[in-house]
Structure 1
Amino acid sequence: MDTITHTLFGLSLYAAVDKKRFTTNEKRALLLTTVVGSNIPDIDVISQWWDTAGRYQMWHRGITHSVFLVPVWAALLAVVSWLLFRVKDWKLFAMGIVAVFIHNTSDLFNAWGTGYLEPFSSIRVTFGTIPIIDFVFWIIMLAGWLLVRYKRNVSSSRVFKWVWVLMIVHLISQSVQGYVIQNQYAKQYDEFALSAGFIPGQFQMIGKESDKVSIHNVTVFSEPKLQVELKSDESVSLDKLFAENPEAKTLYEWSPFIVVVNDDKHIGIYDPRFYRNGASFLYEKIDK
C-alpha cells in the first residue's frame, strides 16, 4: 500500500483503542506505536542511497517486510516509547505487532508484493487483489472519522472497530473474487498474474503462453475483455542486458514473468503487470 494508506491504518488503530483511562504519555506512546509501526517496514527506501548494484527493486519490500521481523520492529517501538515517554506496557508491544503485521500483510495483496518469508525464501509473495492505492479503504476510514466528528455521544473506539471490520470484509471480498478468477482462467496459461483495478471487483489478468502475453479486463460477473496482446522475444540472450544494466537482472528475478523486447534500437525487459498506455512502469533496457 502507499504511505498515506499505511499512515491512515495507524491512525485508525489508534482510534480503535479505548483511551479513557490513559495518561497523556500513554496516549503519545500509543500514537507513536501505531503510526510509526504502520510505516516502519518502508524504512528500506533509504537503501537507494547506497544502491550501486541495481538491487533496490529486491531490497524494497524485502527483509524489512518479513513476517519474521514483526516482533523485532515491535520491540524496537516499545524501547522508543520507554525512552521518550517512560511508558512500559506489554500492550504497547502487542499493538506494535498488530501495526507492523498489518503493514506487511496488506502489502501482500497488491501486485508489488513483498519478501514476506525472507530470509528463508526470496520469493515475492503477491496476490494482486487490492490496488496499491485502495480508495475503498480511504472512504471507510473517512466515514468513520466523520461519524465520530459530527455525531454526538458516539464512541470513537467502537466506531473504528467497525471500520476495521468493514475493511477486512472488503479485503476478503476482493480476494475471494480474485481467487475465483484465477481458479477459472489460470490453467489456460503457462504463467498467470492478477492486478486489481481501482474500482472494486475489476481486475486485470495477465497471462503468458509461450512467447505471447495477453492482458484482459475481467470481473467474476463478466467474460474477459482483451486489452492488448504482447509479443515476447524468447530467443534473445539476456546476458549482455544483465551485464550492462544490473537493474534488468534484478527486475528479471523480481517479476513473476517478463516480456522481452528486441527491436532495432533496444534490448530490454518489462513487467507486463504494470503495462499501461503502451508502456510498462517497470522497464529496463540497453541500446544496441
Structure 2
Amino acid sequence: MDTITHTLFGVGIYQSVNKEKMNKKQKYALLITSIGASQIPDIDVISQLWDTTGQYQMWHRGITHSIFLAPLWALFFYIINRLVFKTKGIQSYFIALLAVFIHNTSDVFNAWGTGYLEPFSSVRLTFGTVPIVDLVIWFIFLLTFIGSKLYPKVKTHVLFRIGWVLIVLHIAIQSIQGSILYKNYKTDYQDLALSASFVPWHFTVIGKNDNTIDIINDSLLTKADFVERITSSNEADLNLLFAENPAAATLYKWSPFVVVVDDNNRIGIYDPRFYRNGDSFLGEYWDK
C-alpha cells in the first residue's frame, strides 16, 4: 500500500483504542507507536542510498516486510515506550505488533507483493486483488472520521472499530472476486497475474503463453475488455542487458514474468502487470 494508506492504518489503530483512562503522555506514546509501527517496514527505502548493484527491487518490501520480523519491530517500539515515554505494561508491544502485521499483510494483497516469508523463502507473495492506492479504504476512514464528529455520543473507538470491520470486508470481497476471475482464466494461460484497478471490483488480467502476453480488463459484473496482445522477444540474449544494467537482472528475478523488448535502439524488460497506455512504469533497459 502507499504511504498515505499506511499512515491511515496507524491513525485508525490509535483511534480504535479506548483511551478514557490514559493520560496525555500515554496517548502520545500510543500515537507514535501506532503510526511509527505502521510505517517501519518501509524503512527499506533507504537502501537506495547504497545500492550500487541494482538490488533495490529485491530489498524493497523484502526482509523488513517479513512476518517473522514483526515481533522484532514490535519489541523495538516496546523498548521506546519504556525508555522514552516511561510507560508500563505490554500493551505497546501488541499495538506495534498489530500495526506491523497490518502493514505487511496488506501489502501482500496488491500487485507489488512482499517478501512475506523471508528469509525462509525468497518468493514474493502477491495476490493483486487490492490496488496499491485503495480509495475505498480512504473513503471508509473519511466516513468514520466524519461520523465521530457528527455523533459525539458514540465513542470514537467504537466507530473506528466498525470502520476496520468494513475495511476487512472490502478486502475480502475484492479478493474473492479476484480469485474467481483468476480461476476463470487459469486454464487459458501458462502464466497468469492479477492487478486490481482503482475502480472497485475491477481487475486487469495479465496472461502469458510462450511469447505472447494478453492484457484484459475484466470484472464479474461486466463483459471482458481485451486491451492488447503484446509480443515478447523471448529469443533475445539478455546477458548483455544484465551485465550493463544489473537492475534488469533483479527485475527479471523479481517479476512473475516479463516482456522482453529488443529493437534497433534498445534491449530491455518490463513487468506487464504495470502496463498502461503502451508502456510499463516498471522496466529496465539498455540503449544499444
Percent identical among aligned pairs is: 51
Question: Is the Cα–Cα contact under 8 Å of residues 32 and 81 in structure 1 kept in the other structure?
Answer: no
Q: Give deviations 1:28-58, integer Å, cap 9, x for gaps.
A: 1111111001000000000000000010010
Q: Distance in 2 between matches of 1:89 and 1:135?
A: 36
Match of 1:172 in 2: 172
- Quote the offset at 1:24 in angstroms: 1.6
For the residue of structure 2 that corresponds to 1:201, the secondary structure is coil
Q: Aligned runs of 1:18-97 on 2, under 5 Å?
A: 18-97=18-97
Moved more, 56-65 or 218-227: 218-227
Q: Distance in 1 between matches of 2:193 and 2:89?
A: 43
- Quote the offset at 1:88 in angstroms: 2.5
Match of 1:261 in 2: 261
Match of 1:12 in 2: 12
Match of 1:145 in 2: 145
For the residue of structure 1 that corresponds to 2:223, the secondary structure is strand
Q: Distance in 2 between matches of 1:193 and 1:220?
A: 16
- Quote the offset at 1:7 in angstroms: 0.4
Question: Is the Cα–Cα contact under 8 Å of residues 107 and 113 in structure 1 kept in the other structure?
Answer: yes
Normalising by the residue count of structure 2, what TM-score does the alignment of the two structures yield? Answer: 0.99
Give the residue type in structure 1 aligned to 2:40: I
Q: Give deviations 1:80-116, integer Å, cap 9, x for gaps.
A: 1112210132111011110000000000000000000
Q: Distance in 1 between matches of 2:134 and 2:50?
A: 31
Q: Give deviations 1:123-155, integer Å, cap 9, x for gaps.
A: 110000000000000000000001112223121
Give the residue type in structure 1 aligned to 2:286: I
Q: Distance in 2 between matches of 1:223 and 1:59?
A: 39
- Quote the offset at 1:187 in angstroms: 1.7
Question: Is the Cα–Cα contact under 8 Å of residues 113 and 127 in structure 1 kept in the other structure?
Answer: yes
1:118 counterpart = 2:118:
yes
Give the residue type in structure 2 aligned to 1:210: D
Q: Unaligned regions of 5+ residues in structure 2, if any?
A: none
Moved more, 87-96 or 31-40: 87-96
Q: Distance in 2 between matches of 1:173 and 1:277?
A: 28
Aligned residues: 288
- Quote the offset at 1:186 in angstroms: 1.5
Match of 2:135 in 1: 135
Q: Distance in 2 between matches of 1:133 and 1:264?
A: 36
Give the residue type in structure 2 aligned to 1:94: F
Q: Aligned runs of 1:179-194 on 2, under 5 Å?
A: 179-194=179-194
Match of 1:209 in 2: 209
For the residue of structure 2 that corresponds to 1:40, the secondary structure is helix
- Quote the offset at 1:221 in angstroms: 2.4
- Quote the offset at 1:222 in angstroms: 2.9
For the residue of structure 1 that corresponds to 2:269, the secondary structure is strand
- Quote the offset at 1:224 in angstroms: 2.1
Moved more, 256-265 or 85-94: 85-94
Q: Give deviations 1:210-250, integer Å, cap 9, x for gaps.
A: 10000000001233211011000111111010011000001
Give the residue type in structure 1 aligned to 2:2: D
- Quote the offset at 1:65 in angstroms: 0.1
- Quote the offset at 1:277 in angstroms: 1.0
Question: Is the Cα–Cα contact under 8 Å of residues 78 and 88 in structure 1 kept in the other structure?
Answer: no
Q: Distance in 2 between matches of 1:184 and 1:278?
A: 26
Q: Distance in 2 between matches of 1:283 and 1:10?
A: 32
Q: Distance in 1 between matches of 2:70 and 2:14?
A: 18
For the residue of structure 2 that corresponds to 1:188, the secondary structure is coil
Match of 1:105 in 2: 105
Q: Distance in 2 between matches of 1:71 and 1:161?
A: 23
Give the residue type in structure 2 aligned to 1:44: D
Give the residue type in structure 2 aligned to 1:205: V
Q: CA RMSD in A?
A: 0.8
